[in-house]
Amino acid sequence: MKLILKMLIFSLMLINFQLRSQTGKISGVVYNESQDSAIVAAIDVNLIIYKGHNLVDDSSFSVKTDDKGKFEFSSLKTDSTLVYYPTASYKSIVYYGRPARLTEKQNFMQSDVAIYDTTSMADKIIFQLEHLFIDAEAGKLLFREIFIANNIGNKTFIGKNYSQSDKHYVLQFPLPPNFEEVEILTPEAQNWVYIDGGTLYHAELMSPGSRQFSYRFQVPYKKTEWQLSRPISYPIGAVNIFVSNPELTLEGPGVMPQGEFPIRGKSYQRYYVSHIMPGMTLELTIENLPSGTVSVEWIVIIVVVVLLVVGFGYTLKKSKS
Tell me: the pLDDT tens digits for 87-129?
Answer: 999 998 999 999 999 998 899 999 999 999 999 999 999 999 9
Quick one: pLDDT at residue 14?
Answer: 47
**Among 231, 234, 117, residue whose Cα is nearest residue 169:** 234
Chain mean pLDDT for the chain:
88
Residue 9 has pLDDT above 60, yes or no: no
Query: Which amino acid type is present at position 5?
Result: L
Residue 215 has pLDDT above 60, yes or no: yes
C-beta atoms surrounding 275 within 10 Å: 11
Nearest-angstrom CA–CA distance, 247 and 286: 11
Residue 78 has pLDDT above 70, yes or no: yes
Quick one: pLDDT at residue 297?
Answer: 55
Nearest-angstrom CA–CA distance, 269 and 287: 14
Phi, psi of 318 (to 5 degrees): -70, -40
Quick one: pLDDT at residue 166?
Answer: 86
Nearest-angstrom CA–CA distance, 258 and 255: 10
Name the CA dihedral angle for 122, 124, 128, 132, rounded to a multiple of 10 degrees: 0
pLDDT tens digits, one per residue of 123-142: 999 999 999 999 998 899 99
Could you tell me if 61 and 46 are in contact, meaning their C-beta atoms sit under 8 angstroms apart? Answer: yes
Residue 292 has pLDDT above 60, yes or no: no
Banded pLDDT at 22 (limits 50, 70, 90):
confident
- CA distances in angstroms from 172 to 32, 200, 306, listed in the order given: 28, 6, 50
More confident residue, 9 or 138: 138
* Percent with pLDDT over 70 in the chain: 84
Q: Which is the CATH superfamily of the domain at 2-115?
A: Carboxypeptidase-like, regulatory domain (2.60.40.1120)
Average pLDDT over residues 72-82: 94
Domain boundary assignment for the chain: 2-115, 125-287
DSSP 17-42: HHHHHTEEEEEEEEEEGGGTTEE--S
- pTM for the full predicted model: 0.78
Quick one: pLDDT at residue 298?
Answer: 47
Is 125-287 in the same CATH topology as 2-115?
yes
**Among 124, 122, 146, residue whose Cα is nearest residue 238:** 146
Q: Which is the CATH superfamily of the domain at 125-287?
A: tricorn interacting facor f3 domain (2.60.40.1730)
C-beta atoms surrounding 71 within 10 Å: 25
Residue 3 has pLDDT above 70, yes or no: no
**Among 68, 110, 113, 112, residue whose Cα is nearest residue 95:** 113
